[in-house]
A and B are shown apart, each in its own frame.
Chain A
Amino acid sequence: MSNVLILADFVSGKATKTNAELATAGARIGEVTAVVLAPAGKGAAMASEINKGPVSKVVIVESDAFVNNGVAAVADVLAQIIAAQSPAAVLIASHAFGKEVAARTAVKSGSGIITDAVDVSSDVTATQLVFGGSTTVHSKVSHGTPIITVRPNSIDAQTAAATPAVETLSLQVSDASKKATVTSSQPPVQGGRPELTEANIVVSGGRGTNGDFSAVEGFADSLGAAVGASRAATDAGWYPHSYQVGQTGKTVSPQLYVACGISGAIQHRAGMQTSKTIVVINKDPEAPLFEIADFGVVGDLFAVLPKATEGVKARKS
Chain B
Amino acid sequence: MSDAPPVLRARPLSPHILQWRWHITMATSILHRVTGVGLYVGLLILAGWALALASGPDVYGTYSGLLGSAIGKIVLFGVTVSLFFHMANGVRHLVWDFGKGLAPRTADITAWIALAFAAVAAVGVWVLAAVTGALRP
Same assembly:
no
B residues touching A (Cβ–Cβ < 8 Å)?
Answer: none
A residues touching B (Cβ–Cβ < 8 Å)?
Answer: none
